[in-house]
Structure 1
Amino acid sequence: MAQGNANAQERLDKINVTCSKHFEKQLLFCIKCKELVCVTCITEHHNGHEMQDLNKTCTKRMKQLKDSKKTIQIMLEELQMTQNKEENMKFHRISQHREVIEAILTQKDTLTEVINRYTTELVEQLDKEVELINSSFDEEGRHLKEKKRVLKEKLKDRKKLLKLSFNDLVQLSENKLEFDTDLPKEDYENRYPTAKFIPGKIAKSNIGMLQFGLQFKLMVLKRLTTDLPVIHFISVGNDETLWINDSKNGKLQKVKSGKDSVEVLLGIKLNVFSMVVTREGNLLVATGDSTLKRINASTGQECASIFKVENKIITAVHLNEKNELIIGVRTEGMRYSFESETSLIKINQKGQIVTTFEFDKNNKRLFTYPRYISSNSKGNIGIVDWFSEYGKGHVVILASNGDIINVYDGNADTKTSYIKFNLGGIVCTTSDNFIVTDISNHLLHLLNSNGQLVFQFDTLSIGIQLPYYLTFSRSGKLYVGSLSPNPHSLFEVECQGS
C-alpha cells in the first residue's frame, strides 16, 4: 500500500501541463468549469471560480477510479451470481416442465387405457347380448319348425279326412277335428330390444389443465371459542356479524366476533338444514319441510317466507350473484336412496320457480342428496352430493344450463375407503374456484371452476381439526367451522392464492 502511494505521488510530482491558449504551465483545476487553467486563464475567464490544486485533483480522480473499479468488480460478481441463479432456475423450470409433460402424457395413457378397457367392456357386453339373441332365435326357430311340422301333419290328415264318405264324416270324433290355432306373436322389438350407443361427453376437463404460479396459503387470524360444541353452518350478515348453527342440538346463534371468543347477540332453538343471509340482511333457513323460514336479523322473529316447493323437502339453500335462490330438494321418505326424487331448483325473488335441474342428458338423476351448494360468477354451480349420513359422496359441477361439467370424487389417495372422502361444506372464491372440506382427512380441496383438483391444503398444519363448513365474509375473511370437540370450533382465516 505504501509503495502504491509513493508511485501515485511520483506521478503527481511529474505533472507538467501547458495551457494551449497562453502556453503557460497549468497549475490549477477550475471546479465550476471542470477544466485545467493557467494564471492568465483565471484572470480572463475564471475570476471568482473555486480552484483546486492539481495534485489534489489527481488524488481525487485516482480515488474515484479505484472506487469505481471496486464497484464494477462487485457488480460483475453479483451479475455472475445472478447469471448462475438464472441458469439454475432455467434448468429447474425445464425439469419441472418435463415432469408436467410426463404427467400429461401419463394422464393421456391412463385415459387411453380406461377408454380401451371400457370400450372392450361395452363390445363384450354387446357380444354377449348378441349371443343370447342368437341362442333365443335358434330356440325360437326350433319351436317354429316343430310347429310347422305339426301343422303339415294336420294338413295331410285333413286332406285324407276330406275323402271320407258322408257316413264316416258324421262318425268322426271331435278330437279329430280340434287343433291348436295359436301362432307365435311377432313381438321381436320388445323381446329382443336393439341396443343403442349414447356417446359420452368429451371435454378438456377429462384431461386436466395447467395451473401457473399457484400460492394457496391459509393463516389463522383468530381461534374463537363458542357456546356450540360443533358448527355445521355459518352465514355472514351484512354488518359482519355471524350466524352459526349446531344442527345436532338444534341451536342457532347470531354472534359477534371478539378477540378469542364470540359474543352471543341472539339465540334461537331451531333445527337447521341449511341457511343463507339475504341482501336485506335477514336469514332464510331450511328446517326440514317445503318452506324456507325467514328470521329477522334484529329481533330473531321467525315467520314463513314466500319461498316454497310443493311436496318436497328442502335440503340446501344458496343465493347466487343474480340474487336467485338455488335450493336442493328431495321427496319424503328414505334419504340417500337412489330411487328418491331429488333436484336443484332456481327461484327468483318473487318466489317463482325459474328452472329445475333433475336429470342429465341420459335421463339419469343428477343427485342422490344435494347437501351443500355454491356458485361462481361464471354461473357454474358446485353441489356437494351425499350418498350417506357420514358425508360420503362427490362434488357435482353444473354449468348454468344444468349440464354436468365434472364430477369430483377425490384423488387416488382419498377414494379407496368408505370414510376416507367425507364431504362437508363448499364455497366459491373470488377467482371462481371452489373450496370443499374433507372432514376426516382434515383437508380443504381447492377445485378450479370446472371442478378439477388444483390443490389440497392440510388444515392440521394451521391447527384446525375436522373442518366442516366454511364461508367468506364480504371483507374476504374465511370462516371455518369445525366438528372438533376442543374449545375452539370457529376460526377466522386469511386466505391467499385461491
Structure 2
Amino acid sequence: MACRDHNKQLIMACGQCKTAVCDECIELHHNGHQPFLTLKSAAKTVIENLQKATDNPDYTKIEKDFEEFSKKCQGEKMHADRTKQELLNRRDNLKAVLDQVTEAAVNKLERHKESVLEELDRVKTDKEQKCKTIDDFKGTVQRLSTSQDYLEVVVQGWNLKPPETSTVDFPNISELKFSAGTRRDETNRVEMLFGELKLQDTTSHHDGTISSDLGHSKIDMFSTLSICSDELFGDGPGENPISAQSDDSTKIKLSHSCESLRCDVKLIYQRSLKLGSSPQTMVPTTEGKCWILASPWQTLHLVDTKGEVINILQAEIAFPDDVSSASQDNSTFLAYFTKKCVKRGTLMINKNEGKHSFEMSTFIRTDPMFLRCVCLIPNGDIFVGLTNKPHLPSGPDHTSVLVRYNQKGKEIRRVQKDGHGQDMFYIPVRIKKSNTGSVAVVNFTESGTAHLVLLDNDLNLTHRYIDHGVALHADEPLPGPAQKFMITDALFNHQDLLLISEYYSRTVQLLDPSCNLLKVLVTDLQNPVWSLAQHAGGDLWVGVEGGEIKVYTHTIDYSLETL
C-alpha cells in the first residue's frame, strides 16, 4: 500500500497521529512526533485494544437478551395455543350453549396473540440487528488479529469503531388471563358461566424480573404463562384476579359459602400537598386537622385539610417515634423509644395573641421495655408495641409484646405468642383499631420485611397478611417471609375494611375483614408510601417518601350477595 500524498511505500506508524507514514511523511509532516512504531508493533497494539473492546459485558447482555427473546416468542406461541385448546375443551364440556361464547373468546385470544407477537417480533428484529452488528465487529477483529498484513491491521483497526451498547427495553405487554366463572347453575348467564379473558399488564425487565400492578417480583418469565387459564371447573387455584381500576366493582367468593362480597370502590385523585419532609405518621383530629410526624428530623406538623401548616413543633417534643390522637379531647400522645414512655401533649391556643403552645406531661412509663408505637382508641385506652432491646433484636432472649392500658395508665392486657406458641411480633411498628374491636399491627420481621397481624378485641390472633394477595388464618403456621414485601402503614376505614400501604410495589391495597385482598387502589406512585390517613369527610391521604401527600376522594360500598 503506497502513501496517497507521496506515492511511496508506507514504512512506519505515527502513534501520535494514528496513521501509517512513508519516509517523506515523517520528514515533512510528522517531525518530532512520538512514538514512531514499526507496522508490526503498531498492529499488535491495535489488536490488543480491539480485543479488550470485545470483552464489553454489554455485548454479552445484548446477545443473551436476543436468546431470551427468541425463547419468549416461542413460549408466547405455545401458551396462546395451549389456552386456545383449553377454551375449546371448555366449549365441548358445556355443549352447544357455549358455542357463541367460545368463538368470541377464541377470536379475542387470537387478536391478542397477534398483537403480542407483533410487538415481540419488532423488538426481536431490533435485537437481532444489534447482534449482527456485534458479530460483524467481532469477526473483523478476529480477522485482523490473525492477519499478517500489518498495514491493513493498522489502517482498518484505527478506523474500526466498536458498536454502540445501548439496549432495547423490553416491551410492556398486556397479558390475557382466563378466569373461569362461578355461577354454574345459570345457563342464561353464558358469559359468567364460561369465564372471561382479562388483560393483566406486566413489563419484563433485563434482570429477569416482571413488574405488574402488584409491583416488582422475581419470576421466570419463560416458564410463567402470560396467556393462561385457571381451573375450568371450580373456583380456580385460589387467587383472585386484581384490577388496577379503582372505579370498577370487585367480587370475591367467600370460602365454604354460597355468598360473595361485592365491593364498589371509587377513588379519585384530587390534589397533592407538599410537606418538605417524609410523612412518617399521619393522624387526623376531630377538628378536621391532621398531625403529621415528619422524618428525618421527627418534627410534628399540625396542618389543615388544605395542607396549610398551622404549627410546627420540634424543640417542644424532642424527637418522638410515633404519635396518636385521642378523639374525645384532641389530646396528642407521643411515643418515645429511648425514654421508654408515652407523653401526653395538649395544644394550647392563645386567641388574643394568635399563638400556640404545646404542654406535655408523662402519661405511661414502659421501662424496662422500649416503646415502638402507640395507638389511642375512642374510650381512652392505649395500645403500645414494646421490645426488650434497643437495637434490632436477635437471639432467644428477644421479646416483643403488644400491651393495652386503660385511660388511667393501668395495664389490662398483654399478648406475645400466637396459638402455635410462636412469637407474634418481631418489631411492632404500627397499631390501628377498628370500630368493631379488631386490632391491626404492622410487624417488622427479622428478614427486613413487614406483614400485617390482625387480632380480635381480646387480642387473639385471627389473620395475617404476609404477601401480595396472601392471607393466613390464625390456624395456619407462618411460612418463610416474602422476599420483597413491606407494609408501612395500615388503617381501618369507616366500613372497617383495611387499607394498607406496601413499600416496594408503591401501592395502597384494600383488604376485607379477613385480610383477603379486594383491590389495589393506588398503583401509579413514583415513590414508596410511608403513611395513610382517612379524614371524616372520606378523603384519603397517602404520605409519600420525599414529602408529598396525595389526596384522594375515597368511597367504598360493599354488601354480601347470595350466589
Per the TM superposition, whether the score is higher than 0.5 is yes
AA aligned opposite 1:106:
P
CA contact (8 A) 2:466 2:482 kept: no
Gaps of 5+ in 1: 1-86, 109-203
Aligned to 1:384: 442
CA distance in structure 2 between the partners assigned to 1:292 and 1:440 by the alignment? 31
CA distance in structure 2 between the partners assigned to 1:222 and 1:491 by the alignment? 6
Of the three residues 356, 374, 399, the one matched with 2:456 is 399
Aligned to 2:320: 272
Q: Highest CA radius of gyration, 1 or 2? A: 1
Percent identity, please: 15
CA contact (8 A) 2:282 2:532 kept: yes
Question: Which structure carries more strand by proportion?
Answer: 2
CA contact (8 A) 1:205 1:452 kept: no
Aligned to 1:314: 371
Aligned to 2:537: 475
AA aligned opposite 1:104:
D
Aligned to 2:404: 346
Aligned to 2:343: 293
CA contact (8 A) 1:272 1:285 kept: yes
Q: How much does 1:264 deviate?
A: 3.7
Cα shift readout 1:364-397 (whole Å, capped 9, x = no counterpart)? 211101111112223221111001595x121111
Aligned to 2:502: 438
- TM-score, with length taken from structure 1: 0.55
Aligned to 2:194: 95
In structure 2, do the counterparts of structure 1 residues 418 and 408 end up closer, same or farther at CA, with 3 Å as the change threshold?
closer
CA distance in structure 2 between the partners assigned to 1:332 and 1:100 by the alignment? 49
In structure 2, do the counterparts of structure 1 residues 217 and 425 end up closer, same or farther at CA, with 3 Å as the change threshold?
same
In structure 2, do the counterparts of structure 1 residues 224 and 337 end up closer, same or farther at CA, with 3 Å as the change threshold?
same
Matched, 1:223 2:287: no
Aligned to 1:238: 286
CA distance in structure 1 between the partners assigned to 2:346 and 2:410 by the alignment? 22
CA contact (8 A) 1:321 1:377 kept: no
In structure 2, do the counterparts of structure 1 residues 354 and 482 end up closer, same or farther at CA, with 3 Å as the change threshold?
same
In structure 2, do the counterparts of structure 1 residues 450 and 276 end up closer, same or farther at CA, with 3 Å as the change threshold?
same
Q: How much does 1:300 deviate?
A: 4.1
Cα shift readout 1:267-299 (whole Å, capped 9, x = no counterpart)? 324323211111211210112132112222234
In structure 2, do the counterparts of structure 1 residues 208 and 247 end up closer, same or farther at CA, with 3 Å as the change threshold?
farther
CA distance in structure 1 between the partners assigned to 2:407 and 2:340 by the alignment? 17
CA distance in structure 2 between the partners assigned to 1:303 and 1:234 by the alignment? 20
Q: How much does 1:475 deviate?
A: 2.5
Q: How much does 1:321 deviate?
A: 4.2
Aligned to 2:427: 369
Gaps of 5+ in 2: 1-185, 197-228, 240-252, 349-355, 472-478, 558-563
CA distance in structure 1 between the partners assigned to 2:280 and 2:480 by the alignment? 26
CA distance in structure 2 between the partners assigned to 1:262 and 1:208 by the alignment? 49
Aligned to 2:550: 491
AA aligned opposite 1:268:
Q
In structure 2, do the counterparts of structure 1 residues 330 and 432 end up closer, same or farther at CA, with 3 Å as the change threshold?
same
CA distance in structure 1 between the partners assigned to 2:313 and 2:447 by the alignment? 27
In structure 2, do the counterparts of structure 1 residues 303 and 213 end up closer, same or farther at CA, with 3 Å as the change threshold?
same
CA distance in structure 1 between the partners assigned to 2:312 and 2:188 by the alignment? 56
AA aligned opposite 1:220:
Y
In structure 2, do the counterparts of structure 1 residues 103 and 356 end up closer, same or farther at CA, with 3 Å as the change threshold?
farther
Cα shift readout 1:53-89 (whole Å, capped 9, x = no counterpart)? xxxxxxxxxxxxxxxxxxxxxxxxxxxxxxxxxx999
Question: Which structure carries more helix by proportion?
Answer: 1
Q: How much does 1:491 deviate?
A: 2.2
Matched, 1:448 2:448: no
Q: How much does 1:435 deviate?
A: 0.9
Give the secondary structure class of the aligned counterpart of 1:104: coil
CA distance in structure 1 between the partners assigned to 2:258 and 2:465 by the alignment? 14
Of the three residues 245, 248, 251, the one matched with 2:296 is 248
CA contact (8 A) 2:281 2:323 kept: yes
CA distance in structure 2 between the partners assigned to 1:216 and 1:264 by the alignment? 32
Give the secondary structure class of the aligned counterpart of 1:318: strand
CA distance in structure 1 between the partners assigned to 2:481 and 2:414 by the alignment? 33
Say what the alpha-carbon RMSD is for the aligned residues. Answer: 3.4
CA distance in structure 2 between the partners assigned to 1:451 and 1:209 by the alignment? 19
CA distance in structure 1 between the partners assigned to 2:530 and 2:233 by the alignment? 35
Give the secondary structure class of the aligned counterpart of 1:93: helix
CA distance in structure 1 between the partners assigned to 2:508 and 2:188 by the alignment? 30
Q: How much does 1:248 deviate?
A: 1.8
Aligned to 1:282: 331
CA distance in structure 1 between the partners assigned to 2:439 and 2:257 by the alignment? 19
Give the secondary structure class of the aligned counterpart of 2:190: helix
Mapping of 1:154-233 within 5 angstroms?
211-226=260-275, 228-233=276-281
In structure 2, do the counterparts of structure 1 residues 401 and 282 end up closer, same or farther at CA, with 3 Å as the change threshold?
closer
CA distance in structure 2 between the partners assigned to 1:361 and 1:418 by the alignment? 22
CA contact (8 A) 1:323 1:349 kept: yes
Cα shift readout 1:336-384 (whole Å, capped 9, x = no counterpart)? 4364211111111111111111112333211101111112223221111
CA contact (8 A) 2:466 2:481 kept: no
CA distance in structure 2 between the partners assigned to 1:479 and 1:338 by the alignment? 38
Mapping of 1:459-470 within 5 angstroms?
459-460=523-524, 463=525, 465-470=527-532
